[in-house]
């Protein structure tokens, strides 16, 4: 997995920049007006094998009725948001994609959940909510702080 190189692939990006409503502002290169976008045309090519491209419809089928949990810091959060962009982009009906921010006081950090395609995907952050976050620890064991449905 670590032995390879970045190669240009004109079939990328896999979703239109700025089209995914769940990426946080601080992670959104498009909305932050990053001046270059050539990085969007690259993928990681392993040295000794071909790793197939993620098939979002297939992955959603595998996740049906299950939970997928990411636990970690901002790097995991970035990977989580990218995966959700890919999965949402593979759905025909995007109106059923719902994001909920839940504060679990014992963890002192927001838990982000995305419900789509009869699957539930969670992100548990190791860092507390930042001061500019719309979610704060409330003292309750779990408190639904924000819920959105996007079309």
Would you kindly state where each structural domain of the chain is located, as residue ranges? Answer: 4-149
Query: Quick one: what percent of the chain has pLDDT higher than 90?
Result: 7
- Main-chain phi, psi angles of 87, to 5 degrees: -65, -45
Q: What average pLDDT does the structure give for the chain?
A: 69
Cis peptide before 13 (omega within 30 of 0): yes
Other Cβ atoms closer than 10 A to 33: 7
Q: Is 82 left (phi over 0), alpha (psi -120 to 50) or beta?
A: alpha
Strand pairing partners for 111?
102, 124
How far apart CA 82 and CA 32 sit, in angstroms, is 17
The confidence score (pLDDT) of residue 149 equals 33
Residue 15 confidence class, pLDDT cut points 50, 70, 90: confident
Query: Quick one: what percent of the chain has pLDDT higher than 70?
Result: 62
List the Cα angle 123/127/130 in 5-degree steps. 100
73-123 tens-digit pLDDT: 777 777 877 888 888 888 887 776 766 655 544 444 555 655 555 555 565
Comparing CA positions, the residue from 16, 22, 14 lying closest to residue 97 is 22
């Amino acid at each position: 997995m670590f032995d390879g190189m970045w190669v240009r692939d004109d079939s990328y990006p896999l979703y239109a920049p700025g089209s995914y409503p769940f990426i946080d502002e601080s992670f959104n290169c498009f909305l932050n007006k990053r001046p270059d976008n050539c990085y969007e045309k690259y993928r990681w090519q392993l040295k000794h094998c071909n790793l197939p491209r993620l098939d979002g419809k297939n992955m959603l089928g595998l996740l049906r009725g299950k939970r997928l949990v990411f636990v970690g810091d901002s790097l995991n959060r970035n990977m989580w948001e990218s995966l959700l962009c890919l999965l949402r982009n593979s759905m025909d009906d995007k109106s059923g994609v719902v994001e909920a921010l839940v504060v679990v006081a014992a963890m002192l950090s927001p838990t982000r959940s995305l419900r789509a395609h009869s699957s539930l995907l969670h992100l548990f952050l190791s860092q507390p909510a930042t001061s500019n976050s719309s979610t704060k620890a409330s003292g309750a064991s779990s408190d639904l702080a924000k819920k959105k449905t996007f079309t």
